[in-house]
Amino acid sequence: MAKSTPVKKAWRSLSWLGAIVIALVAINTAAVLWGGGSWTPKLALDLEGGTQIILAPKLETGQTVTDEQLTQAVSIIRQRVDASGVSEAEISTQGGSNIVVAIPGELDEETKNRIQSSAKLELRPVLLAGAPSDSSVGGDASASPTPSPTESLRATPTVSPTNGSDTNWITPALQAEYDSFDCSSDEAATTNAAPADVPLVTCDTTGTVKYLLGPVEVDGADIKDATNGQETNQQGASTGRWVVNLTFNDQGTKDFGEVSQRLYGLTATPPLNQFAFVIDGQVLSAPTMNGVITDGKPSISGSFDQESSKALADQLKFGALPISFTVQSSETITATLGSSQLLSGLIAGLIGLLLVFGYSLFQYRLLGTVTIVSLLVAGVITYLTLCILSWYQGYRLSLAGVAGVIVAIGFTADSFIVYFERVRDELRDGRVLGSAVEAGWKRALRTVYASKATNLLAAIVLFVIAVGSVKGFAVTLGITTVIDVIIVVLFTHPMLQLLAQTRFFSSGHPLSGLDPSALGAVYRGRAEFRTSAQLTAAKAASSSREAAKRQTIAERKAAEAAALDASGGSKPAKSAASAPSASGDISKNGKES
Amino acid sequence: MASRLTTFGNDLYTGKRSFDFVAKRKLWFIIVGALVLISILIPVVRGGFNLGIEFRGGSQFQITGVSDAETQPATDAVASVVPDAVAHVTIVGGGSGVRVQTDQLTTAETKDVATALEDAYDVTEADVSSSFIGPVWGADITRQTIQGLLVFLLLAAVGMALYFRTWKMSLAAIVALLVDLVITSGVYAASGFEVTPAAIIGLLTILAYSLYDTVVVFDKIRENTQEDVVETKRTFAESVNLAVNQTLVRSINTSVIAALPVASILFIGAFALGADTLRDISLALLIGILVGTWSTVFLAAPLYSMLREGEKNVKKHDAKVRSIRERTAADAAPAEEITV
């Protein structure tokens, strides 16, 4: 049955929509029950307030912070905060040396660490490694027992070292410093910084191994990208360990390749075949070089979990802060806009929505209810999506976001308007409702896809490139655009397909909004058209050509048949439309064609 | 029985009634040009945009040791010293402190405001500290946003050129988009409202809306002009004009429906209920929606037609249409002027 196909399709689409809504409700219910989700979207700083954190730079005496360093730090911190979710944090400077970070909600340890540590990455070759006690396990190291560092020991190499792994770097002074180095002492916390071109004595982050490291071979500035992921073994299976995968730029790839080749050649003399990833002066991991890495894509392992590996990847990706900061104070702050503002906005938005409903009904009669219900369904899905994103992505709804959602009403309604107008155009061309809906849909869908694609493109590009509140805007735009397309495809069109089957709509009731006579259907027997229309002959001819051209073959045949056996003024109507039309100006005889 | 707009739509669809969007383009271009010029001149005459603290930074006062803090005394205190300054007041630390941010003040003003705040909250001089705060919307945000926009415009232009199979539609759409942005900014400057991040977000929304609206109308133009390849009843310009007229009812309905909620926020929310922070974004949005919709009709479509009319194929087609039309007109005496 030709007629049942659209009905079947319509129900199938509606079932899909139902499934989507149920899935969203289920996800959010699960989030509320087990994941700390909520049935209301979280609000941004401007509507809910949050925590204001003042970061003071860690400076040594006499050192000052330049404006440039501060601006750079603000920019890096912003990217790091953004990377943890779309929270629309506000970051600025204060008094020429401090950085103020305002985030919605409370400051947790992870966020604190994320924003305050410098994350300066250095790759240094390992010269000596050992337990923090005085028993060193250096291959070439001529361990001299129990010397305490004294000024008299020689501090410059006698033979100038040829490369970073050259043991000539180990001067007696360094050896002494290394031997006496105690990871747990205060000394370890403060002295583990050395210029890039000289060796460094330090410990790993857990304080269980101490290292004497060569000069910096590659540093964090050459990192192009950093991601976190699970380590895979040679068979490609996941080992379950979290690692940070680095991608170096060309310079970094070249440098790293050279180091890799050299260290791989030193396999026989451990620990010289090890290299250390040093973050903020502490060794994060010091793997052995098991092969020559020339693609510039090493990965850092360590005692990571998913969160900490993500945090480090984000820090490395956006570069090191020019200076480290400490949290000086952290206080709660109230919303910059009062809750009364939000309420006013919502009331005004609601009134606006009612006006839209009124206008839709006025313009499209009963068809307007399809618009209204579609908007309501879109509203429900948008709301659920925002709740889920708040929970999953840290999305925060700001006032600008609320305005964005309200504007989306216009965008969404426009899809319906485009569609309805296309259906009306098809009716004007003389199609019966069922086929007008299908034909109008085909044309409208193309337009809807093309135009929504521009919106989606804007959303994606701004999300990827922009920072701060613009990113939040991009998310709102993207969500509403996708939901808009879902609604028009899975709700509005199926509803219209179903309504087209009802007598009320298919008979073109004047209140249906799809009354062919009101729409002045162009073609209902060309003879009548020519005589009655007050058009120029040329225009009439062109119009009927237009109408004729738009017909399907079946319609043309039906039309010819109708023109033959009816004395003009009747049009092929399908059986559903066989009842006498409420609009009395044309007699629709309802023939079976 | 049929609403007037429906009849109007019918007439526009068949071509019985038609507005000369394309033929009278010179007039529209002059009007648009004048609007753009005014929009550029307004901020120049007014001495630039009234940028908010978020963009320029400003002065900050932190009051501690307050019991049960409220925001109103601070707003009043600032207004008593610098009447036209915008003060953002925030309660800090659960009611024990107040943070006041204002436009950049002079040293003397800073001192006066600090004194006024002491009195307002009944605290000592040591409890009020003042400092300079940097912009929340820093140069990095602006830079990244502009970068994002340029990438978007480039991709959108290429995407439209591929979809419509002509770069001229991309050009016309982008020109209309820029005009929308300039006019919206001009009206915003004329209003004298402070430029806030919310207003910038509003402007970005307009950018998306403007291009969206142009694509909807251009898709109809594409449909109509494609028919021209096999049909010879309309010249190129007439096809474009018919498409604009056929989508005119949509343009009217869409601009009304999109503008209604925004206008409601602007007038009811901002003016009647006094939520003035809403007015920045809603003003930018309202102007942008109206300008965005109508720039497609009056600027983008006629401009596109103008760009194409000079093409060889189009010229050939138009000449053919005219010659056929002369013949038909000769047949159907009395010959009538065809107005499109």
Task: Note the pLDDT of residue A574.
Answer: 40
Asked if pLDDT for residue B207 goes beyond 90, the answer is no
Domain with residues B58-133, CATH architecture? 2-Layer Sandwich (3.30)
Q: How far is B256 from chain A (nearest CA, A)?
A: 8
Structural domain includes residue A574:
no
More confident residue, A530 or B268: B268
Task: Examine the domain organization and report whether A159 and A99 are in the same domain.
Answer: no
Q: Are A540 and B27 in contact (CB under 8 A)?
A: no
- The 10s digit of each residue's pLDDT in B119-156 is 888 888 888 888 888 888 888 888 888 998 999 999 99
Question: Residues of B with CB below 8 A from A468's CB?
Answer: 137, 141, 144
**Same topology between domain B18-50+137-323 and domain B58-133:** no
- Are A311 and A344 part of one and the same domain? no
**Residues of chain A neighbouring B140 (CB-CB closer than 8 A):** 71, 74-75, 78, 467
Q: Are residues A304 and A369 in the same domain?
A: no
**Distance in angstroms between the alpha carbons of the first and the last residue of chain B:** 28
Strand partners, B98: B63, B91
Q: Is residue A415 part of a domain?
A: yes
- Residue scoring higher pLDDT (A61 or B78): B78
Domain boundary among A247, A281, A316: A316
Q: Is the pLDDT of residue B31 over 90?
A: yes
The answer to whether A466 contacts B145, with C-beta atoms less than 8 Å apart, is yes
Flag if B136 and A418 touch (Cβ within 8 Å): no
Is the pLDDT at B250 greater than 70? The verdict is yes
Question: What residue type is assigned to position A328 of the chain?
Answer: Q
Residue A143 and residue A244 share a domain: yes
What is the C-alpha to C-alpha distance for residues A375 and A479, in angstroms, rounded to an integer? 15
Partner-chain residue, chosen from A344, A428, A537, that has the shortest CB–CB distance to B332: A537
Average pLDDT of each block of 10 consecutive residues along chain A (593 residues)? 72 93 94 87 84 83 78 84 77 85 82 77 81 48 43 63 73 78 60 68 78 81 83 76 84 84 78 80 77 78 77 79 81 76 80 89 86 92 92 83 80 88 86 87 91 91 84 88 93 90 79 70 42 43 54 59 49 41 40 38
Contact A95 B7 (CB under 8 A): no
Same domain for A111 and A125, yes or no, is no
Say if CB A368 and CB A374 are below 8 A apart.
Answer: no
Asked if the structure places residue A573 within a domain, the reply is no
B316 pLDDT exceeds 50? yes
**Is the predicted pLDDT of residue B177 greater than 90, yes or no?**
yes
Contact (CB<8Å) B92/A332: yes
Chain A residues with CB under 8 Å of B248 CB are: none
Q: Which of A218-222, A468-472, B87-91, B285-289 has the highest mean pLDDT?
A: B285-289
Q: Mean pLDDT, to the nearest integer, of B41-57?
A: 85
pLDDT of residue A532: 36
Where in chain B are the domains? Answer: 18-50+137-323, 58-133
Residue A328 lies inside a defined structural domain of this protein: no
pLDDT of residue A588: 41
Q: Which residue has the higher pLDDT, B254 or A205?
A: B254
**A425–B99 CB contact, under 8 Å:** no
- For residue A436, the domain's CATH number is 1.20.1640.10
Q: Which of A4, A9, A24 is nearest to A391 (CA)?
A: A24
The average pLDDT across B71-92 equals: 84
Q: Is A359 in contact with B257 (Cβ distance < 8 A)? A: yes
- E strands in A476-571: none
- Considering only the beta carbons, identify the residue of A359, A399, A421 that sits closest to B260: A359
Minimal Cβ distance to A466: which of B2, B10, B144: B144
Whether residue A407 is contained in a domain is answered as yes
Same domain, A163 and A292: yes
CA angle A30, A32, A34 (to 5 degrees): 60
Domain extent, residue A557, equals 522-566
* Amino acid, res. B191: S
Complex ipTM: 0.85
Is A93 in contact with B134 (Cβ distance < 8 A)?
yes
Considering only the top CATH level, what class is B18-50+137-323? Answer: mainly alpha
The answer to whether A512 and A582 have CB atoms below 8 angstroms apart is no
Q: Within a domain: residue A586?
A: no
pLDDT computed for residue B161 by the predictor: 94
Say what the pTM is: 0.74
A386 CA: distance to closest CA in chain B (Å): 19
Give the contacts of A471 (CB within 8 A, at least 6 positions apart): A82, A86, A88, A462, A463
Report CA-CA distances (Å) from A331 to A80, A107, A339, A374: 21, 9, 20, 44
Q: Is the pLDDT of residue B300 over 90?
A: yes
Strands across the sheet containing A238-248: A223-232, A238-248, A299-301
For residues A302 and A376, membership in a common domain is answered with no
pLDDT given for residue B167 in this prediction: 92
Count how many domains chain A has: 4
Test mutation, A106, A350, A361, A462, chain B, max B CBs within 10 A? A462
Helix (H) or strand (E) holding A224: strand A223-232
Find out whether A384 and A392 touch, Cβ atoms under 8 Å: no
Other C-beta atoms lying within 10 Å of the C-beta of residue A97? 18
From A69, A86, A116, give the residue that closes a domain.
Answer: A116
Q: B139 vs A71: CB contact, 8 Å cut-off?
A: yes
Distance from CA of B30 to the nearest CA of A (A): 28
Judgement on whether residues A456 and A557 belong to the same structural domain of the protein = no
pLDDT band at B279 (very low <50, low <70, confident <90, very high): confident
| Cβ separation A462–B275 shorter than 8 A | no
CATH code assigned at A103: 3.30.70.3220
Q: By three-state DSSP, how is residue A361 classified? A: helix
* Sign of the torsion angle spanned by Cα atoms A196, A199, A201, A203: positive
Q: Are A196 and A278 within one domain?
A: yes
- Residue A185: the pLDDT is 61
- Of A437, A366, A380, A460, which Cα lies nearest the Cα of A412? A380
